Structure 1
Amino acid sequence: MRNRKTLIAAAAMVMLMGGVPAASAATTPSTAKGAAPAWAAFDLALPAATLTSVRLNVRQNGDRWTLTVEWNISYSAANIANQPIYWTFAYIMEQDDVDDDVVASGVRKSVEVKPRAQGHNFTQEFTLNSEALHTEIGDEEIYASAFAKNIRTGREIQLNTRRHIFDV
């Protein structure tokens, strides 16, 4: 807890001073070339957005499968105050022993959002045929991954659903 308070205090100092304190800070203005913007340390030091409640619903209609991913994003007070932009999107994955396969990507359907107190709720639907889901012999272990990426810092957070095991 003490380290967290120290980190928050340091981030607040950086915000107020507009750069990282150094021995030459008295003679170098914070607008000097290469100085970090005031928000940079604040975004990295304080809690970021959080993905919660990622769910995957699977429905079959003949050879067509509808996979619906639902997820929520909640924001820290620092996010709400600084208003960084987030991209959010989902993937449908198939679990393998070595590397998991991307079955469907939602990057083309990414949504750009700014933090707000009540957070955001998202739903993304994927419709696939059995062939697209069938990546190996036997049962398929399908799950969803939801992502949120802070455009300003590049920091990405991810949360996966539990696996759905079914025969395609």
Structure 2
Amino acid sequence: MTTTEDLPYRPCAGVMLLNRDGLAFVGQRLDATMEAWQMPQGGIDDGEDARTAAIRELGEEIGVRPDHLEPIAEAPGEFFYDLPDDLVGKVWKGKYRGQRQTWFLYRFTGEDTDINLATAHPEFMSWRWMSPYELPKLIVPFKRQLYEDVLAAFRPHLDPDARTA
């Protein structure tokens, strides 16, 4: 019998996208039954590196073009989260126990009008800029520690004034 511990983690890439004011992009998921906000993230395709996947996901999820991105940092190592027991077997066709994610920090150099949620495969119903320090409070509980870890990894690159924005 296969148990949750026997399942692998899904390889993913995530992006903390900062605007010129040091605020982070966060989107409200379309498919959530509760209020669920998150930063852009998604699976890494076979043969694709994490950075390429991160840039691709930004285009697929929020319509941001690569020429509106300025790389700032890559988090050291990978971050993991486990799905709650009631979601294992329901998402990703039951093939994964959670995700292992590589995170990137980018500056968004475009305008707000360059963000478009009406993509071919929409994932968010709304979006906003917010202090990166507030992100862990908005994320679903099972991803909270991962967001805390991502925030800690990027803290040296974040504007301290964004704490109160």
Q: Same fold (TM over 0.5)?
A: no
Greater helix fraction, Structure 1 or Structure 2: 2
Higher relative contact order (CA 8 A, sep 6+): 2
Point out the structure with max Rg over C-alpha: 1
More strand by share: 1
